[in-house]
Copies of this chain bind each other. A is one copy, B any other.
Amino acid sequence: MTGTGRPPALVAVDWGTSSARAYLMSGEDVVVGSRSAPVGVSRAAGGPGSDERRAWFAAAFDDLCGGWLADQPSLPVLACGMVGSAQGWVEAPYRPLPADLTDLSAADLTTVRAGGGEVHIVSGLVKSDGLAGVMRGEETQVLAVLGSPEAYDVVLPGTHSKWVRAEGSVVGDFTTFLTGEVFALLAGDSILAALAEPPVSPAWDAFDRGVRVAAGPEGRTGPLGTVFSARALVLTGSLQGREVLDYLSGLLVGAELVAARDHWLQGPPRPLLCVGDADLSARYCRAARLVGWPDAAVHPDAAPTGLWRTAVAAGLVPVPHAPAATPHDADGDET
């Protein structure tokens, strides 16, 4: 889909804990402008739910998207992520599972006034059966990759990795691994950090070694039982300081993948689709191939596509025409 020349039809905002990214879109995969700012929810002023906080978000939104909206005040605006949490601009509810991401009721978007217009915020998802879980933002990224004819296992690596099980556009289950946050805590301020030196470039041998430990007999005690080896191996001279962090990364990513493979998947691994940050996803792909996935691929930048599809489902932008590749469509001017 080219879409060149098509007029903007949506302002889409992926607004998370540490930053916000806004996209001016004219089609499902057509981003004609983008901006980002370090105005994540964790930076907001004022207490949760206060007038001060609402004013802070309104100002941050105006800085980020005001220029686009000054040109086209009628553009619909759709946002996802922690902006809809209790610490965000306005609290959006959670949708219970199973949730059809393309079947939205009025309750699935929460609206806040901004300048002369409105910002619609996508609901998160909540899982109550089994181990409780919540997500905000990932559900929108997931919509960018679901419904593909190919069958994938889907993971969204990150501070809080999410594994999602879906049929078509219906999310039936998900689970969360705190891998990224535990890595950051251990790498930043633990006895393991004391012996670590920042690597100049990724020490892939050390990463692979960590993955293999996690997937091997020594990994059966899980990450609590393996990570101290990052210290012991340095003290015994068989790991270098500059390898510590990548070895630790391999232990933790490997532990997540093995746990997901053995206790989350409902059959043998299918190709793994890693949705999210390219560098982190590359680690997951590499580790997945080491521990038995037949293939692994990265789908970066899923948020704008997912926001577009959500906007279509909500009627904020026109429903796309049926799949067609007429000469006219190929021009991409009006479809």
| Chain B residues, Cβ within 8 Å of A159 | 191
Which chain A residues numbered 209 to 237 have a C-beta less than 8 Å away from chain B?
Answer: 213, 218, 220-229, 231-233, 235-236
The stretch from A29-37, A49-57, A129-137, A314-322 touching chain B is A129-137
A126-B236, A228-B176 as given contacts; A263 in contact with B221, CB under 8 Å? yes
CB distance B191 to A229 under 8 Å? no
Which residues does chain B contribute within 8 Å of A185, judged by CB atoms? 182, 185-186, 189-190
Chain B residue with Cβ nearest A159: B191
Q: Give the docked Cα–Cα distance between A28 and B49 (Å).
A: 63
Total interface residues on A, CB under 8 Å, equals 49
Q: A134-B231, A223-B222, A263-B220 are in contact. Are A128 and B236 (CB under 8 A)?
A: yes
* CB within 8 Å for A134 and B232 given contacts A185-B189, A185-B190: yes
Interchain CB contact (< 8 A) of A131 among B218, B252, B259: B218
Q: Which residues of B contact A220 (CB under 8 A)?
A: 259, 262-263
Residues of B close to A190: CB separation below 8 A:
178, 181, 185
A259: B residues at CB distance < 8 A:
220-222, 224-225
Shortest CB distance A227–B (Å): 5
Q: Check A238 for interface membership: any CB of B closer than 8 A.
A: yes
CB distance from A167 to the nearest CB of B (A): 22
Q: Contact: B176 with A225, CB < 8 Å? A: yes
Q: Which of A138-166 contact B (CB under 8 A)?
A: 159-160
Partner of A232, one of B133, B227, B262, B263: B133
Q: Please give, as numbers and ranges, the residues of chain B lying within 8 Å of A127 by CB-CB distance.
A: 232
- A260 CB–B CB distance under 8 Å: yes
- List chain B residues, Cβ under 8 A from A225: 131, 175-177, 256, 259-260, 263-264
CB pair A131–B189 under 8 Å, yes or no, is no
Complex: A67 Cα to B181 Cα, angstroms: 48
A-B contact pairs, 22 of them (CB 8 A): A94-B236, A126-B232, A127-B232, A128-B236, A132-B232, A132-B236, A132-B238, A133-B232, A175-B225, A177-B221, A177-B225, A177-B228, A178-B228, A179-B224, A182-B185, A185-B186, A220-B262, A221-B260, A221-B263, A222-B222, A224-B256, A225-B264
Which A residues are closer than 8 A to B by beta carbons? Answer: 94, 126-128, 130-134, 159-160, 175-179, 181-182, 185-186, 189-191, 213, 218, 220-229, 231-233, 235-236, 238, 252, 255-256, 259-260, 262-264
